[in-house]
Amino acid sequence: PQLTKMGKQVDILIFTDGSSTQYFNNDAILEDKFHEAKEANDILGSKELPRADFPDMRLDTVAHVDKNIALGKIISKGEYDTIFVQDRTDINKDHNELFESTLVACRPYPGQKVKHLLSYYVNSSTEWGNLLKKAPFNPNVFIDIGQTIDDKLEAMSKYTTEIRTYPHPRSIEAIRNSAKYFGNMVGVEYAEPFFLVYAR
């Protein structure tokens, strides 16, 4: 909600179909998950919730070029100047695939609208990916979210199929603790950490 409260337009892309691998042939649960995302989106103040409907947990089975083209069209249509994507160090394979396609779609060629590309931390995913990669998630941009942390947690609470009970890292309390940890790194109460891939 930080950016929307500043008057910025924010769209949130759902690149996969939700959880088709976990809930095979269960369209009702997939729609429930999308409805939860919509409720969270409304709290965050986002404008659009575009969907690409690629297979969840199986992005690595889709040709890289197909993902690149689909993502490129969405980014081009939205004329976004800033893109946020999951970090390359995530243990989640889909997140790795999406990061790579985002790099392709956001290459700073002449006429490219994107001016800033940043990756972000995902509780229960990024911290474990650090064990497998050559370099860990190393944030170099920290946004003070002290004024909007409660909005963030309220939005997350709507995502009932993803939220867990404490001490799971995707619990409300753990998400607050994570924001506090990153905030304390830079002298504020709560912060959202990012890795700046490029700015121009």
Q: Per the domain annotation, does 161 fall within a domain?
A: no
| 172 in a structural domain | no
Give the pLDDT confidence score for residue 26 in this predicted structure.
73
Q: Is residue 97 part of a domain?
A: yes
pLDDT of 108 strictly over 90 = yes
List pLDDT tens digits, range 132-146. 766 789 999 999 999
pLDDT by residue (tens digit) across 82-105?
Answer: 999 999 999 999 999 999 999 999
Name the burial class of residue 19, with classes exposed (0-12), middle (13-18) and buried (19+) by CB atoms within 10 angstroms of its CB: middle
Question: Residue 184: inside a domain, yes or no?
Answer: no
Least Cα distance to 3 among 126, 86, 118 occurs for 118
The pLDDT of residue 19 is 67
Strands 82-86 and 51-54: unpaired
Q: Which helix (H) or strand (E) holds 117?
A: strand 116-120
What pLDDT is recorded for position 73?
96
Domain that holds residue 113: 2-142+193-199
Q: Which residues are within 8 A (CB) of 167 and not within 5 positions of it... i.e. 6 or more apart?
A: 173, 174
Task: Tell me the pTM.
Answer: 0.93
Q: Provide the domain count of the chain.
A: 1
- Evaluate whether residue 165 is within a structural domain: no
Give the 3-state secondary structure percentages of the chain, helix then strand then coil, rounded to 5.
Answer: 40, 15, 45
Longest distance between any two alpha carbons in the chain, whole Å: 48
pLDDT at 13: 96
CATH of the domain at 31: 3.40.50.10320
pLDDT at 2: 86
Q: Is residue 114 part of a domain?
A: yes
pLDDT in tens, 146-173: 999 999 999 999 999 899 999 999 999 9
Which amino acid, residue 43? I
